[in-house]
Amino acid sequence: KQGKRENQANGSKVVCYNCRGEGHVAIQCKEPKRARNSQWYADKALLLNAQEKGEVLDAEAEAFLADELHQEEGIESDNESLPKENTIPYSKHMASNDEHPSGSYLHIPASTFLDLNAQITCLYKVNEERNQTLEAKTQTINTLTTELEWYKLKVEQLDKNRVKHELEMALAERKKRSNELEEENI
């Protein structure tokens, strides 16, 4: 609060770096976050590719990759790279849903598309392999489940046969005992 009072005393106003509105800061801004331009993403992709190849990057490039640049510097460089005549307010852009944007102010390097396509292809192959593995495991589970049911039935039949056998043995033993008693009584 003290900083705000000092700014008011100096005659300067607090400016939001997101919407360029006065009287609030970016963290209090109700506007959606401002997207970075395509050149920023292209630079970031080139630096990431260079870093993956093992090239040594200078401190500025490392800071750029780590997003350690000050927010003001990033916004100023974003605004300097965009021509003023090609910028339109977001609301006007949303109002023209029927129109397709021309590629004149949207430039994304072909290497980015190729990299994304390669990643998608790789992920598709991994997905296919996982689906095949999952299908094989499901088939194995179904086979094992069928075998388990068959063995359960076998165990049930063996238990019934064991009980039947024990009953027959008990009846035979009783008959034998009964015959012995009859012979003794004669």
Q: What is the pLDDT of residues 12-60, one digit of tens each?
A: 677 776 777 788 877 788 887 766 666 777 788 888 888 888 888 787 7
- Is residue 94's pLDDT more than 90? no
- Is residue 176's pLDDT more than 90? yes
For Cα atoms 80, 108, 126, give the angle at the middle one, nearest 5 degrees: 135
If DSSP codes are grouped into helix, strand and coil, which group holds residue 13?
coil
Q: Among 38, 112, 23, 108, which residue's Cα sits nearest to residue 78?
A: 38
Who wins on pLDDT, 110 or 160? 160
- State the average pLDDT over residues 69-94: 53
Instruction: Specify whether the CB–CB gap between 29 and 18 falls below 8 A.
Output: yes
Q: What is the pLDDT of residues 96-137, one digit of tens each?
A: 554 555 554 467 777 888 889 999 999 999 999 999 999 999
User: How much of the chain exceeds pLDDT 90, in percent?
Assistant: 33
Report the C-alpha gap between 66 and 74 in whole angstroms: 13
Quote the pTM value. 0.33
